[in-house]
């Protein structure tokens, strides 16, 4: 004879035998405590099942990562970063002037055009203009933040996605930038040619020269970015 607890679990898991079902029914009919226990166990099972397969663990990993990044950003004082920054700037200047005198133009991000996207949609249009302002002032952190919001609001507007990718390049977040630009580069939109070019720039920066060449060779002659693409191709060959 099974215990009350076993009958309850067998019922919840739908594995009650015909014989046990009779015992279960008798208890259910005549015992209020049994019914209350069954209700509670059903609720526990529902909550546990939901919580244990909720994906909370993955979310926590992202939260920890975001917290670490945020706190790291706060903790570094100006004294700590000033010297390495100055050193890095000197190296960069030397490298740029000695080795890559003409690369600046090839890597330069275009100006973001001020315009109304798909009809004037109030807040979105206003935010887009703020993004234009920040992007053109090279405040890429700010433009990324605004463009990300816009992109999340409407992922069908590819213009948001394109400039978000470029803004991330401005922030030197190349992995993230490529995740936004690659679908455009592989797609059929008006951003295809330019997206291919900037994906190639990222690939070049990452030392993935062969992939960069492939991207650049896809750019059509009729494209306004074709000349730049050819120059970059010549540079990396």
Partner 1 sequence: MHNDQKYIQFLLQNNGEGIQHIYRQFADKVVALICRNSGTNDDGFDILQESLVDIYHMAKYKDFQLTTSFESFLLLVCKRKWLNELKKRKRKEVTNVDNHVFDIEDDSHTAYMEHMVLVEKENILMELLDSLGERCQEIIKRCMVSKNQEKIATSLGLTYAYLRKKKSECMAKLGEKVRAHPFFKSNN
Interface residue list for partner 1 (CB under 8 A): 3, 5-6, 8-10, 13, 15, 37, 40-41, 44-45, 47-56, 58-60, 62-67, 69-71, 123, 145, 148-149, 152-153, 176
Q: Would you say 215 and 193 are in contact if contact means Cβ atoms under 8 Å apart? A: no
* Among the listed residues 93, 135, 129, the one whose alpha carbon sits nearest the alpha carbon of residue 110: 135
| Cβ nearer to partner 1, comparing 165 with 197 | 165
* Nearest distance in Å: CB 71, partner 1: 7
Structure token digits, residue 12: 């919840």
* Among the listed residues 230, 155, 235, the one whose alpha carbon sits nearest the alpha carbon of residue 197: 230
DSSP track, 40-88? HHHHHHHHHHHHHTS-HHHHHHHHHHHHHHHHHHHH--HHHHHHHHHHH
| Cβ nearer to partner 1, comparing 123 with 217 | 123
| Cβ nearer to partner 1, comparing 5 with 227 | 5
Structure token digits, residue 152: 């999340």
* Nearest distance in Å: CB 41, partner 1: 6
Q: Would you say 158 and 191 are in contact if contact means Cβ atoms under 8 Å apart? A: yes
| Cβ nearer to partner 1, comparing 5 with 205 | 5
* Nearest distance in Å: CB 48, partner 1: 5
* Nearest distance in Å: CB 53, partner 1: 5
* Nearest distance in Å: CB 90, partner 1: 30
* Nearest distance in Å: CB 144, partner 1: 8
Size of the chain in residues: 237
CB neighbour list of residue 184: distance below 8 Å, 6 or more residues apart: 158, 161, 162, 165, 191, 192, 195
| Cβ nearer to partner 1, comparing 153 with 217 | 153
| Cβ nearer to partner 1, comparing 10 with 211 | 10
* Among the listed residues 132, 125, 89, 130, the one whose alpha carbon sits nearest the alpha carbon of residue 110: 132
């Amino acid at each position: 004879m099974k215990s009350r607890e076993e009958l309850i679990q067998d019922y919840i898991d739908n594995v009650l035998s015909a014989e046990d079902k009779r015992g279960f029914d008798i208890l259910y009919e005549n015992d209020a405590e049994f019914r209350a226990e069954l209700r509670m166990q059903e609720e526990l099972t529902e909550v546990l099942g939901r919580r244990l397969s909720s994906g909370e663990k993955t979310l926590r990993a992202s939260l920890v990562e975001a917290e670490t990044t945020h706190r790291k950003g706060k903790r570094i004082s100006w004294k700590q970063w000033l010297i390495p920054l100055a050193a890095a700037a000197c190296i960069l200047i030397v490298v740029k002037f000695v080795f890559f005198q003409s690369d600046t133009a090839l890597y330069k991000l275009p100006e973001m055009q001020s315009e109304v996207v798909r009809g004037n949609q109030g807040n979105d249009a206003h935010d887009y203009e703020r993004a234009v302002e920040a992007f053109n002032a090279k405040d890429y952190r700010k433009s990324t933040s605004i463009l990300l919001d816009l992109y999340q609001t409407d992922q069908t507007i590819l213009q948001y996605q394109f400039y978000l990718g470029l803004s991330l390049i401005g922030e030197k977040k190349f992995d993230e930038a490529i995740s936004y630009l690659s679908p455009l580069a592989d797609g059929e939109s008006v951003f295809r040619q330019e997206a291919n070019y900037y994906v190639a720039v990222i690939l070049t920066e990452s030392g993935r020269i062969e992939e960069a060449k492939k991207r650049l060779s896809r750019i059509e002659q009729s494209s306004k970015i074709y000349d730049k693409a050819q120059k970059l191709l010549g540079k990396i060959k």
